[in-house]
Structure 1
């Protein structure tokens, strides 16, 4: 195998002009990195001081993970900010360094805590920009050493053997494994798996809201092409506006966000660059057209959120639903669409796939759990760190009042954290109950973050099914995140310490930390994440053939578990009693409740039973619980 050619270039005009029509005009405005940087750098010295002062307020008085981060990562972000502030005091407008150096120092402080909730967002012209190369790289672990394959390429990129399946060997002369590790060290991640995953993703896609632009104007990619030959190809970084995303939560629901905003932005960029048909579906829905889908998929009213289909595996045909994000405007609508989709899919087993999901609404995440289990859902509790400023904030807002007594008591007890209280109301977390009765497997990876971490933790803590991970941990984001602007606009504090930030700059902070429930009750989710029950290393076939080996493994796990059935039929009232027929499968006993009060308990050895419950005149709902060998395995609730 020899080198066939060397250092050819992929011209941006070759692929930007061949993109799908729905994104072509947007991508036509992309500019090379060199041209983009010519307009950067307008912050004054006073504006720089203001940014440092506001960062000090957030990290010193609002940041819930500060003690944890100091202990786990041996960092002191508050002291580093104080040092930057002192350096600024010794500078003048004439002697202050270039703006990018200031941004680099601020970014280092925020990245040092390895918390993707806690960000320094660069001002204009960096805000809401994406730096990209026209392909994606992913890692396969089905050999003795990791390998890095090209998995997606934009139309119009034409070079010998450079297509899905090409193997990257060097990145601008650096062996690819070392290049990934160097990148991983630059990008925040709470554990090794999360950092490595971000290191791979950032090879070709970066949000400039969260990171400085690449230092290099181009990269030279050395690869073994699909033709079996060695090649080199030069790609120039392009800068483009982030694609407009769907609307997020508002009002009370906007206070319960758990989201990696950078991942949300990168996810939209991937759709724009590689799967623009999803944008076409969104636009069709917005125009009032019926939902459409790709071949083999169930049409969804939320195509950017869900992909649902049946998958054939060696162990059988099962349902597969991909939840791309929990960033939705309305959590109830999210749950309703999830329930509708899983009702259409095969009922003998379901694969719920949340890989690369950066989170969103904590309510959407936790309200979905009830639909997959008969068990009572206990939402994760959240805590503030006890500071005078956090106490003032909680006193000023009615929805935060439940945390106030414990924070006031901390003045006497010295407790570091407030009481742990849920964001999701427990009655809503159990309101609609179980909707899917087959076994369920959850697939995770290290890019699952925040509300998705909480979904995975709740899935595991309530023993809903097996967690199958393609990495050793999820991303480990265990907090509720607020924007600096939220503090400024939402809380009418006298002598507020918060100030507007210049030039579109922004900051975010983890304000309330989450704790796990069940057998791991009280364990922080931050930095630890969810360790999967089963581990699958992505294979070449997974990367190039639609996750075929991953889904086969999930199918094996599903096929080894029983399929339950619990149906209520022929409900009738007569003389103050309620008569109903129950059909079951793999259930030996059912208990019947009227408005949560026990009414009857009968055995169902042959899979069906007629049950009569007295005192049903005013009953508004009937709940039937199914048991197998004394264990609650199914539950169905029906309004009357």
Structure 2
């Protein structure tokens, strides 16, 4: 297969290099997996109840079988990887994974095209939407419709494949089953069984044909964060690693322009904004954002696609979002987080404040009460400011030995001060677009959007991916008992062989507001309205999807509250406001009420006496007694 130079090789040739785990290596991996599941995995009781899953028993049985094998008569290594992976998949938790060792880690297996599902005329259709440069087959063009996959009807092939890589709900299963037909991160998914696939399709000319496509393997782009490092970013991750790996792979395969701009560093922040497509607003984060104005039958609105929350600097991420939305139409905003696998939980929750006048309550999280979790939390309960702070969970974990509580007390990961630092900056109505690939920190973002009543949610699937947890790696857990010095000499964590790793949901997230206390895991966030992606959408820049979002925005009230401060040397300040959709303004100075005045749409001037430079001015706009807009500024 002739594809761009990615350092790729045929799947068969790649697999010939695999298979170096010893019997002792395999036993060590299973022992450490048991430790992680029994002592760290926060969702174990819930998964046992919901899915009749018993990963602990299955791991013990596998360990027993390994004891019966010998170094010269072991089962094939691919079978070992399949056994461990299937045990982790059985809990249907995309945060809790077996990460394969070398040579699989850091590699992707791919076919030279991409398929997306479209719903038209009452039926689902599977459409070729992207083809790698260099791959050619008669009639196989963008727009061709896949009918069979290795002789299996395509819808059934998607469902069967989805069952191998279980998500937290049916929509997530099917979405991942479709993605994995053509793209698999070998760090987290088993390599394809077949070296090539035979695809039956109907071309744009209506002719039925078949094409054979060979699997290739290439190195993926590196992750944005070192997930084993003892850092605030690593301990604040809410990330579906499968989606994150695929997102980087899609960029590698189909967006080399963005790869070049980022110079190989995922989610990199550029020194100067760059527009990667003609209609887009220039951004310093081309691998993270896409922003532009979109024309719909209901009007022209702002549109921001957020590809990932996996960034190292959540404040820079928030500020770039504010800068971009400030250049978009202010009468309505579409925020599109489809296929966003999450990332830094701070980044997700810092963004919410910019679209609402309400105070943001970050989602609280809980540990499962175990002796090992208490040991880790006790070690990091008094860290200096700016480092990992596990102190809030310490007391309840200590008490659990007496109370027998299953989970610790619930406290937020995201600092409330950061989640409310700048307040609202966009005052128009907002529609959030989600799908079943939204996971982890993106689930948290969608839940916060709903719980704070920021706007309406338009889903292309029945739910988000339903991943409600903070995730830590085995490497991070081990390091948390080694740092700061002196190391814990009795740490039960052992280094894994050949670069293998494990991940687990360590703290589960709970919703706030009207849904307070409801777990996000397995439930996800349901949309207010549903739009099934059409052929026009998958082949034509989401035309019908944006029309549906625009129709929702047009039905929502438009607010406006611009503010200018004119300070004088006499200790008074004139506050100039331009308002719309607001009937009362309240002014606060350093959080103390100073003025409340009824207003009408248009320009308003208010005089505020007894002011001094540096004081914090907050303006709150109300409509029929409900808070609907806010602005903050410094005198």
Partner of 1:257: 237
After superposition, the C-alpha distances for 1:387-407 in whole angstroms (9 at most, x for unaligned) are 011011000003101101111
Partner of 1:4: none
Partner of 2:280: 297
Measure, in 2, the Cα distance between the counterparts of 1:361 and 1:287.
19
Measure, in 2, the Cα distance between the counterparts of 1:39 and 1:283.
29
In 2, are the aligned partners of 1:114 and 1:188 still within 8 Å (CA)?
yes
CA-atom RMSD in angstroms:
1.6
CA displacement at 1:626 relative to structure 2 = 0.2
In 2, are the aligned partners of 1:160 and 1:227 still within 8 Å (CA)?
no
SS at match of 1:84: helix
CA displacement at 1:606 relative to structure 2 = 4.5
CA displacement at 1:551 relative to structure 2 = 0.2
CA displacement at 1:102 relative to structure 2 = 0.7
CA displacement at 1:50 relative to structure 2 = 0.4
Partner of 1:67: 45
After superposition, the C-alpha distances for 1:140-164 in whole angstroms (9 at most, x for unaligned) are 1222221111111112222222111
After superposition, the C-alpha distances for 1:380-428 in whole angstroms (9 at most, x for unaligned) are 0000000011011000003101101111111111111001000111111
In 2, are the aligned partners of 1:599 and 1:614 still within 8 Å (CA)?
no
Match of 2:427 among 437, 441, 452: 437
Change (3 A) 1:175 1:460: same
CA displacement at 1:354 relative to structure 2 = 0.3
CA displacement at 1:603 relative to structure 2 = 0.5
CA displacement at 1:597 relative to structure 2 = 1.1
CA displacement at 1:227 relative to structure 2 = 1.3
Partner of 2:508: 513
In 1, are the aligned partners of 2:269 and 2:285 still within 8 Å (CA)?
no
Match of 1:483 among 473, 488, 505: 473
Measure, in 2, the Cα distance between the counterparts of 1:319 and 1:567.
18
My pick for the range that moved more, 137-146 or 392-401, is 137-146
In 2, are the aligned partners of 1:488 and 1:499 still within 8 Å (CA)?
yes
Match of 2:323 among 329, 340, 352: 340
In 2, are the aligned partners of 1:248 and 1:327 still within 8 Å (CA)?
no
Match of 1:449 among 436, 439, 445: 439
Question: Is 1:326 aligned to 2:327, yes or no?
Answer: no
Match of 1:414 among 404, 410, 414: 404
SS at match of 2:561: strand
In 1, are the aligned partners of 2:148 and 2:199 still within 8 Å (CA)?
yes
In 1, are the aligned partners of 2:225 and 2:233 still within 8 Å (CA)?
no
TM-score (norm 1): 0.94
In 1, are the aligned partners of 2:579 and 2:600 still within 8 Å (CA)?
no
My pick for the range that moved more, 604-613 or 79-88, is 604-613
SS at match of 1:557: helix
In 1, are the aligned partners of 2:270 and 2:285 still within 8 Å (CA)?
no
> Counterparts of 1:619-638 in structure 2 under 5 Å?
620-638=615-633
Partner of 1:145: 123
In 2, are the aligned partners of 1:576 and 1:615 still within 8 Å (CA)?
yes
CA displacement at 1:288 relative to structure 2 = 5.7
Question: Is 1:266 aligned to 2:246, yes or no?
Answer: yes
SS at match of 1:141: strand
Change (3 A) 1:206 1:606: closer
Measure, in 1, the Cα distance between the counterparts of 2:105 and 2:241.
12
CA displacement at 1:309 relative to structure 2 = 0.8
SS at match of 1:363: helix
Measure, in 1, the Cα distance between the counterparts of 2:489 and 2:613.
52
